[in-house]
Each structure stands twice: as structure tokens, then as C-alpha cells.
Amino acid sequence: MHCLVALGHRARGYTAPQASQGMPGVAYLGTDRDILARDLPPGERLAVIGVGKVDAHADRLGLLFRYQARGFHFPALVSHAAIVHADVVCGDGSVVLDGAVVVTGARLGRACIVNTRAGVDHDCWLGDDVHIAPGATLSGGVHIGDHCQIGTGANLIHSVSVCSGVVVGAGATVVGDINEPGVYVGTPARRIA
């Protein structure tokens, strides 16, 4: 919500399974099912995904698809406190947060998060539903598949590829391609699950 407000937008409200005490001054609009059942005018179909990706099963991409099927639009949000080069492509529903740096030639898929102080260097490609956690660094030319999480402070060296369905643990160092879904930790990163 902070990024949305900092960019000069006003939230009409939020959806959630139940009302939250943590959203003072923002109206609770009901559940996703409630909103999707309404026939809202086109001018009221602009949305932001507020669900984080604290685990590999968070359904950011599913939410995006369900709402887009009902005519909603999800612009990418880029914090004023982030550095994002002009030629970077950010997919629908993606967000680049405070202090993040995303440079020339990078491409973010749909429903991605580049979190606080994360670095995505030149010519990196992120698939859909990828979370780059705070302080993680992707060196140039890194390719990340869909539905991946790169943990806090993880480092991926130049030009490595990571297949879909991978979690790279906090502080891990990826020094070679990852071709099998799973959880990878350590330096160098190795598969543990």
C-alpha cells in the first residue's frame, strides 16, 4: 500500500478473506469472490496485487489471471525510491520496491516482486510470479523461470539460469545453472529438497 500511496494514488479499498486492523483509513471491500461477482464500470477496474510472496505457494499470478478475466488492469508499480532504467520491461502486476535497482535490458514477467534493495543487473529475465527478496543480487544475464523465490541476500553469478519452481535460500550463492525444481541453500547453492 505504501508504494501505491507514495506514487500519488488513492486506494478505494482492499479485498481479503476478512477485514484487517492493519489497513487504517482504507475501506474493506469484501473478499475477492465478492468483488469478482460485481459488475463494476471499466473506470473502477484498476487493481494492485497486495499479496506478498513469503512462501512458494502465494497465489499472486492466480489472482492476476482471475481479475484480468473480469476486465481488471494491473499496472506495474515502481517506487520513486527505486532505480529502474527506461528500457526495462515490467509485466502486469509486478512491483519494484524502495531501493531496488533494475538496469538496462532487464525484463520482469507478470506478478513479480523486486523487493527492497534487491539488484537485477543488465539483461536479466524473470519469468512470471518471481520474488527477488530484499538484498538479493542477480548479476548480468541471469534467467529465472516462473514461480521462483530468490531469498534475502542471495547472490546469483553472471549468466546463470534457474528453472521454474525453485526456491533459493537466504544468503545462498548460485554459481551454476539450476535445472531441477527444488530448494537450494548454501555457498555454493545445493539442492536440499
Model confidence at 153, pLDDT cuts 50, 70, 90, reads very high
pTM: 0.90
Mean pLDDT of the 98-114 span = 98
In tens, the pLDDT along 63-95 reads 899 999 999 999 999 999 999 999 999 999 999
The domains of the chain, with CATH numbers, are 2-68 (no CATH), 77-191 (2.160.10.10)
Q: What's the chain's average pLDDT?
A: 91
Q: Residue 108 pairs with which residues in a beta bridge?
A: 90, 126
φ, ψ (nearest 5 deg) of residue 40: -80, 145
Q: What is the pLDDT of residue 1?
A: 58
Query: What is the amino acid identity at position 58?
Result: A
Given a cut of 90, whether residue 15 has pLDDT beyond it is no
Is 122 part of the annotated catalytic residue set? yes
Which is the catalytic residue, given 57, 73, 122, 131?
122
Q: Is the peptide bond before 75 cis (omega within 30 degrees of 0)?
A: no
Query: What is the amino acid identity at position 140?
Result: G
In tens, the pLDDT along 18-47 reads 887 677 788 888 998 998 898 888 877 888
Spell 111-136 as b/e; 16+ CB within 10 A means b: bbbbbbbbbbbbbbbbbbbbbbbbbb
